[in-house]
Amino acid sequence: MNLLQPAKWVELYGDYLLKFALFRLNDVALCEDLVQETFLAALKASENFKGESSEKTWLTSILKNKIIDEYRKKSRSKIVDDETQQEETDFTDFFEKNDNDFGHWQTEQKPIAWEKSILDKMVTQEYYQVLKKCMRKLPELQFNLIQEKFFIENDPKNICKKYNISQSNYWVMIHRVHMVLRKCIEINWVK
């Protein structure tokens, strides 16, 4: 317990944790509740804190589990997940499947040119809204990977360990994320 300073948590980590949750859930009231629950859960579990990670990392991991619970509440049925999982690994929704061929783009999936004026606008609030919308559409694990990679700046080795996935699986998923995000932005922003 003496490793932790609950009296300073709200001041030190409140805003950070709120942002962390908002990035994922986009509902201020819900996120505030989750932050509060995180502090209370942390207090109850304080004996488990061994000081191996920082207080901040530890609190964040508790919050993350709460966010994942929220997602479970909303998640689709398992059967649908299995189907998309299949699609996710063979990429047949993007590329033609033909052993003798070079794996060309499906006609309707071919990237189109984005004008320079479009690329220049990728710093506007309108664009960020589209980007966030597209990111939220990602399956949970893929979204978590993106969050780890960009928001927490965790390196791939640690991420793989944490989510118990192989390096090659990690790359397949990041590849997948790029394919899906690009397409989603093209549909919702460029066209």
Selected range binding another protein among 27-35, 49-57, 59-67, 79-87, rule: CB under 8 A: 27-35
Binding mask 123-162 for another protein (x = CB under 8 A): x-x-xx--xx--x----------x---xx----x------
Near another protein by CB under 8 A: residue from 3, 15, 61, 167: 15
State the angle between helix axes of 167-185 and 125-136 in degrees (0 to 180), rounded to the nearest 10: 130
Nearer residue to another protein within complex by CB, 34 or 139:
34
For another protein, the binding residues (CB under 8 A) are: 1, 6-7, 9-11, 14-15, 18-19, 22-23, 28, 32, 35-36, 39-40, 43-44, 91, 94-95, 101-105, 110-114, 119, 122-123, 125, 127-128, 131-132, 135, 146, 150-151, 156, 171, 174-175, 178-179, 181-182, 185-186
